[in-house]
Amino acid sequence: MLPREKFQRNGIDSLSDNDLIAIIIGSGIKGKDFKSISLSVLRKIQKSIKKGQEIVLKDLSTIEGVGEITAMRILSGMELGRRVYGIYSNQRFLIYNSKDAYELLKNISNYKQEHIVALYLNSRFELLEQKTIRIGGIDNAQLLPRDVITYALDNNSSYVVLAHNHPSGECTPSQEDILLTRRLDEAMELMGIKLLEHIVIAKDGWKSIDV
């Protein structure tokens, strides 16, 4: 399904970061489709952010298939987000407990599909990165510990907070949620990373799963 079709059918929360950029890009060029172009753009943005570098027009417009006009569209969308939501604020988010995590992630209760989101923290409990790990039903057999651990290693994280929503509106953890939490906790402990919290977020509030 194309990103625009996913947007129309399931809403904007069903789109990955790559899908969002693909919608802005719109079309590909000869020998390179819009998905591969958007992936190149996403990687460039992520690389710049991790290095603490400013994302500038020249860097994006030199990517094959982008050009100056499309690069302007991408940067304009990012700037609008920054102005409206303050996504580039210098303030460091501190996550000490499940309540702090809930306040940051409570908007996922509005999503029509289940989202698994991870917060990666340093040793001072400062937020390093927020990452959507999976969109769709939580399946203990399909969600592998490495899906979560890979980003923890990339960020040199000391702690991870995991959260997911229940579109049903009821935040009571299922048996599947509990088993998944135990499995992840055991795997992450072997890597020297602490699963600080796993919370379930829904319309009726949130509940923490004991780790």
Q: What is the number of domains present in the chain?
A: 2
Same domain, 200 and 103: yes
Which of 51, 85, 119 is at the close of a domain? 85
Same domain, 32 and 56: yes
160 touches 116 (CB < 8 A) = no
Q: Residue 90 falls within a domain, yes or no? A: no
Q: Residue 92 falls within a domain, yes or no? A: no
Alpha-carbon distance of 5 to 21, in angstroms, equals 14
Same domain, 119 and 176: yes
pTM of the model: 0.61
Same domain, 73 and 106: no
Same domain, 121 and 180: yes
Which of 62, 85, 108 is at the close of a domain? 85
Same domain, 75 and 125: no
* Residue 126 belongs to domain with CATH number: 3.40.140.10
Which of 85, 111, 141 is at the close of a domain? 85
pLDDT given at position 149: 94
pLDDT given at position 141: 45
Q: What is the pLDDT along the chain (211 residues), one digit of tens a residue?
A: 788 888 888 887 777 878 888 888 877 676 677 788 888 888 888 887 777 777 888 888 888 888 888 889 888 888 787 666 555 555 568 888 888 899 899 889 988 889 999 999 998 898 988 999 988 765 544 678 899 999 999 888 999 999 999 998 899 999 989 999 999 999 999 999 999 999 999 998 999 997 6
Q: Residue 93 falls within a domain, yes or no? A: no
Same domain, 42 and 130: no
Same domain, 18 and 102: no
161 touches 126 (CB < 8 A) = no
pLDDT given at position 139: 54
Same domain, 25 and 110: no
pLDDT given at position 185: 93
Alpha-carbon distance of 93 to 16, in angstroms, equals 23
pLDDT given at position 30: 64
- Which range of residues forms the domain containing residue 22? 3-85
Alpha-carbon distance of 173 to 106, in angstroms, equals 16
Tokens of 67: 């050009």
